[in-house]
Amino acid sequence: MVSDNYDSKHETSEVSKNIVKPYGDTLNDGRVQISFVLPAPANDKGKEAAKLILKQMGLDEIEVCHIKDLTTGFTHFIAYATCNAVVDLNKIKVRSVDIVSLGMEQIDEYIDQNIGRELRVVGACIESDAHTVGIDAIMNMKGYSGHYGLERYRNFRAINLGAQVSVEDLLKKAMEVNADAVLVSQVVTQKNIHVKNLTKLIELTEAEGLRNKMLFICGGPRINHDLAIELGYDAGFGSGTYASDVAFFIAKYYSEK
């Protein structure tokens, strides 16, 4: 019986580990911090409006702890509240890029041994997006957070076209250098403009008959692999991606082709 009890508790513990909810001070207390703006005045009426919004979101034990008047009729609120929602980690299915953690020298050596030629990559922020921080982190020689960019790799020829590049010009350059991969960064996401821009590129790519001639990879703070696949890309990388992640994905694809 002792053994049975132990096994039962052990199984319950294993199940509990996979049922998760937010916590602030103690595990499973459900406490969350929420920040938002309301077109309401920075007074007691505005504060009550914020509480009612949070209540209608299903939150309990609401405490509005910060109120800042942004401009006439607009107020920024920060609140703490309790969330009763839970999720079962075992039931979550996501598509993600298989990333192998290799350094620049290891990837160059992998290309030497498995491909035997330089890989050509053209990258840009397309259309109205003027924020190059993402594409620069992957392409530029200095890289980001101690991870060198593709320009520093011995076996990559990296061509960074910069910001606000039209999809027509990006594809023209990719065809000119016979690119192995096209990298697209989208940092600006207001009103889902990143989805519209990425869709425009992939539609033009298909119209030009280029879709199966090179890899198309997109990245940005609101992009993940699942969205990229849905939009017709080969891979999508979100925040926290380094050049080595993208480099090995490209190298592995061509080594297996």
Active-site annotation, residues: 142
Alpha carbon distance 92, 4 (integer Å):
30
Q: How many CB atoms lie within 10 A of CB 224?
A: 19
Q: For tokens 């380094």, name the residue.
A: 242
Calpha distance 125→167 (Å, rounded)? 9
To the nearest 10°, report the CA torsion of 41, 43, 46, 50: 130
* Cα–Cα separations (whole angstroms), residue 206 to 166, 192, 200, 232, 233: 16, 22, 10, 10, 11
Q: Which two tokens stand for residue 97?
A: 């890029």
CA distance 226 to 94: 7
- DSSP state string for 202-246: HHHHHHTT-TTTSEEEEE-TT--HHHHHHHT-SEEE-TT--HHHH
Cβ 152 vs Cβ 188: under 8 Å: no
At 1, list the tokens: 């019986």
